[in-house]
Amino acid sequence: MNLKKLGNTEVFIPEIGLGTWNYKGGVEPLRAGIKLGASLIDTAEGYYTEDIVGEAVRSFRDEVIIATKVSGRNLAHDSVIKSCEASLEKLGTDCIDLYQIHWPNPLYPIEGTMRALEKLVDRGCVSYVGVSNFSARQMSEAQRYFPNYPIVSNQVLYNLNSRDIEKELLPYCLDNEVTVMAYTPLDNGRLCRPGDGILSEIAAETGKTEAQVALNWCVCQENVIVIPKADSVVKTVENCGASGWRLSPEQLRMLDEGF
């Protein structure tokens, strides 16, 4: 499994992580992924999967990076603290490795949210802070109210069919050493289907599956990792096989032009 730096830290994370939105696979697919090096698991208080993640990693917590999120409905200062405490209990851990704001909410001033997150880092309840679904402008504003620590990641929609972040957000994250965590990297399964298109052509050339080609395209970006969700061990193994190799420049060009 290839590793990439988390933001501007000295922590290295796998370029293929494990997503748990709408997850129904139980502990075994998660444990299978961890054994293959996909040691970052992403969850959220709004996913209702934190307890499953906690159970899955209980025997080897130190080997896993747990990322979870505070809901955009809970961004008032005191609510952030309470949400974190509840997540720690459900996850069965004393520290969340990466705590993220699930989405920006203009009803709550970002200054209060970031002050709460700073307290959580100071207390040792959280190691690193990230955001999700933030624009470049919103990231810049959040960082301004978080002067003592870096925002290390932004979790956003990114796949061959959804490339809006390439206009502004992806360059901003690259310039500011922010890791992009791509969710829905297989476009809800639309990029997994065998057929007669470019994905299938390149899959045949590389000896990989369409899903592995689509995931590899994402992680060919310098600061991008992916967090696909898989409810089965078989699919988890397939997703992990998207790492450890690279598409050729010509194959990347074909995909860029084809999508």
pLDDT band at 134 (very low <50, low <70, confident <90, very high): very high
What band does 226 get if pLDDT is binned at 50, 70 and 90? Answer: very high
Q: Tens digits of per-residue pLDDT, 186-214?
A: 999 999 888 879 999 999 999 999 999 99
Q: So what's the pLDDT on residue 27?
A: 97
Mean pLDDT of the 218-240 span: 97
Count of structural domains, the chain? 1
Assigned domain for 23 exists: yes
Residue 259's nearest CA partner among 183, 172, 169, 190 is 190
Burial bucket for residue 119 (CB in 10 Å: 0-12, 13-18, 19+): middle
Clarify whether 48 is annotated catalytic. no
- Measured CA to CA, the distance from residue 19 to residue 6 in angstroms comes to 17
**Domain containing residue 143:** 3-191+218-235
Q: What is the pTM of this model?
A: 0.96
**Catalytic member of 23, 47, 99, 128:** 47
Q: What are phi and psi of 153, to 5 degrees?
A: -155, 160
Three-state DSSP at 216 gives: helix
What is the domain-level CATH number for residue 94?
Answer: 3.20.20.100
Asked if the structure places residue 39 within a domain, the reply is: yes
**Cβ atoms within 10 A of the Cβ of 75, count?**
25
Residue 140 has pLDDT above 90, yes or no: yes
Residue 200 counted as domain residue: no
Distance CA 24, CA 91 (A): 17
DSSP 22: T
User: What is the chain's mean pLDDT, rounded?
Assistant: 97
Provide the pLDDT for residue 194.
84
Residue 195 is predicted with a pLDDT of 82
Measuring CA to CA, which residue among 156, 239, 243, 161 is closest to residue 199? Answer: 161
Q: What are phi and psi for residue 54, nearest 5 degrees?
A: -60, -40
In a domain, 89, yes or no: yes
Vertex 24, ends 95 and 182: CA angle to 5°? 60
